[in-house]
Structure 1
Amino acid sequence: MSSIKRNNSVASRGSLRTITTISILFVLIVISFIISMNTGIVRLSPIDVFKTLFGSGTPRQELILFDFRLPRIVISILVGAGLAVSGAILQATFRNELADPGILGINSGASLAVVLFITFFPLNELSPIFMLPFIALLGGSLAAVLINILAYKKGYGISPSRLIITGIAVTSGISAALLMLTVRLDPRNFEFVTIWLSGSIWGTNWKFVLALLPWILILLPFVYFKARTIDVMNLGDYIAAGLGTSVGRDRLVLMGTAVALAGSCIAVGGGISFIGLIAPHIARRLVGPLYRALIPTSALIGGLLLIVADTLARVILQPAEVPTGIVVSMIGAPYFLYLLARARA
């Protein structure tokens, strides 16, 4: 009886910690949202932003806030959340804390597909914009399949270390193909593709928000619904199968979901890396390893990281703008090296 009470007490403390963490992260996102609305080449005071939001701003202030800043801020949150949850799924699926859509070549495959697409189709039309996530999904899926095939070794399956090395090799090959493709572009497209590959939040209008939003609204709740399955799979394939989990099918479904999340986010947000690596690790330190708490926490951390990085990217070298992906990489690359060193130890 006492052990049951003790377990209930531990569970309730865990739930309280999760609720507290999520509440704090939500408040931080709201604060970052407000700061980001006031930040840019043209400064808007908090009073100007408040007036503009309620219809009392000047036409210039409405243009800046509603047509440029708000779509970009919303996209930053959605892309950060999607990439973070994608990374959390991959780390669980492969049971490797170094797994990430960028490191495993999914981002590169999606980027190559999108660059090929925008080379031939203009993005000022509505249908190509809504096609981008599907194109990115195709490219990311092909890259993921290729990496799994190359990482597979007969009699041993797919080892985490072999998967990471294969992913890095495939990413290098795709990056070379991207470089060869970009040098053949006309100057206007070359400049755009170069900035996009650096991780610029380039989809700065509501069409891009609408193109990404259905993917996030459908896939994130689905992943949360599968949280218990992910926790069971983390116990090992034999135990999970013994508990009634269809390991092969669920792993394939989760892998496809991770690719879809990463691909759709890359299509709209550009070549942003490391969010899927950093956010789940921070979330584990805050709420523990259970995915029912880890998934929403990772999503909020990813959104917070990217909105902060995008805000910094707009102010570091004003009036010039640094691609957001570079700011994220400045944080993510050292963290990746730290995780790599800890894994070897």
Structure 2
Amino acid sequence: MKRIVWIYTAIVGLIFGVFFLSLQMGTMTIAPPDVLRTLMGDGTEQHALVLFEFRLPRMVIALLAGAGLAVSGLILQSLSRNELADPGILGINAGAGLAIVLFIYFFQGSYTTLGDTIFALPLFAFVGAITAAFLIYTLAWKKGVTPIRLVLVGIGLNAGFTAILIVFQLRMNPNDFMQATVWLNGDIWGTSWANTLAVLPWILLLIPLVIAHARTLNILRLGDPPAVSLGVKVERNRRHLLVWAVMLAGVSVSVGGAISFLGLVAPHIARRLVGPRHQAMIPTAALMGALILLFADMIGRNVLSPSEIPVGIVVAVIGAPYFLYLLMKTP
């Protein structure tokens, strides 16, 4: 326990360090003393505008989306007993992406018919993620759901969603095509406090709920026969956990774009740091996901400033080699 507390402290310290560094960096560089003065309400109006209206909401969104995607990936890996499972790989992100592209395609130039896009796009992404998960679970069902069928069906649906998505993208006008492409590459477009307040309750509700079911995840990780013998209602708990994983992924993707590999890498790092018990692994994965996405966003905003690299590309550069390493290592 003492070691785990030290690990939590170290990760939180890194998050605070990256957070403060990210506040300083951007198109307009702000010196550390000016950042501190502005946060305490004694800065210039220009610095206050940059920090409170542009950087802070985006960084808080990165923390929330990173934590949500990491815990979602951890749940999927535990349920499927497959270390390569991830919301992006299983097709959940692709379902959300297809819903976004359909929204842009059919309502291009007339967003006001569905209200402000701040609320419309997250809603469509969430519905797309839920639909993808429902199809995966339904098609994988055969006298129950086995982990192998869940993964294989997810990969197949991911390919199908991606193909349909490309068809609609090619029929878009150039402006809408670029908007959809940036979103699908993973771009934190939710940069207002309204987006933050829309996502925050879901993350604060769902992650503690998953932590409360950590013991169930420990048992399900053993396999269905041992779980049944220990009195766990396997299918009911699996359905609940799968819905929570999809909700976390859908909410996170709705404001952060289609970010892949984060839900794969963060749980693996957490497992190496604190071991396989979910009571410690879930909070560690959430913290690691928040740290990775915050760091990736800082890199994406500044490495080619004033241009930006979508954060999903930065995460893929980090996560893809690790995915290949795991693939080669898996027997």
Q: TM-score range by the shorter chain?
A: over 0.9
Verify: 1:74 aligned to 2:60, yes or no. Answer: yes
User: CA, structure 1 residues 225+123, in 2 after alignment: closer, same or farther (shift >3 Å)?
Assistant: farther
The residue identity in structure 2 corresponding to 1:58 is T
Q: CA deviation at 1:55?
A: 1.9
Equivalent position to 1:111, from 89, 97, 112:
97
Verify: 1:41 aligned to 2:23, yes or no. Answer: no
- Residues 267-320 of structure 1, C-alpha deviation per residue, up to 9 Å, x if partnerless? 110010111000000001000000010000000000000000110111221221
Partner of 1:306: 293
Deviates more, 1:256-265 or 1:169-178: 169-178
| Cα separation, 2, equivalents of 1:231 and 1:123 | 47
Partner of 2:131: 142
Q: Unmatched 5+ residue regions in structure 2?
A: none
Partner of 1:9: none
| Cα separation, 1, equivalents of 2:121 and 2:200 | 13
Partner of 1:83: 69
User: CA, structure 1 residues 329+124, in 2 after alignment: closer, same or farther (shift >3 Å)?
Assistant: farther
1:44 alignment partner, SS class: coil
The residue identity in structure 1 corresponding to 2:22 is S
| Cα separation, 2, equivalents of 1:91 and 1:40 | 36
User: CA, structure 1 residues 320+131, in 2 after alignment: closer, same or farther (shift >3 Å)?
Assistant: closer
Verify: 1:122 aligned to 2:108, yes or no. Answer: no
CA contact (8 A) 2:66 2:262 kept: yes
CA contact (8 A) 1:132 1:264 kept: no
The residue identity in structure 2 corresponding to 1:295 is I
RMSD over equivalenced CA pairs, Å? 2.0
- Scaled by the length of structure 2, the TM-score of the pair is 0.93
Partner of 1:6: none
Max Rg structure: 1
- Residues 156-192 of structure 1, C-alpha deviation per residue, up to 9 Å, x if partnerless? 95342x5434323322221222222223333332222
| Cα separation, 2, equivalents of 1:178 and 1:201 | 20
| Cα separation, 2, equivalents of 1:199 and 1:123 | 24
Partner of 2:11: 25
Q: CA deviation at 1:63?
A: 1.5
Partner of 1:232: 219
CA contact (8 A) 1:26 1:300 kept: yes
Number of aligned residue pairs: 328
Structure 1 runs of 4+ with >6 Å offset:
123-126
| Cα separation, 2, equivalents of 1:264 and 1:331 | 23
CA contact (8 A) 1:37 1:49 kept: yes
- Residues 41-76 of structure 1, C-alpha deviation per residue, up to 9 Å, x if partnerless? 111111111121122222221121111100110000
- Scaled by the length of structure 1, the TM-score of the pair is 0.89
Q: CA deviation at 1:138?
A: 2.1
Q: Unmatched 5+ residue regions in structure 1?
A: 1-14
Q: CA deviation at 1:149?
A: 3.9
CA contact (8 A) 2:80 2:151 kept: no
The residue identity in structure 1 corresponding to 2:169 is T
Q: CA deviation at 1:135?
A: 2.9
Deviates more, 1:313-322 or 1:100-109: 313-322
The residue identity in structure 2 corresponding to 1:212 is V
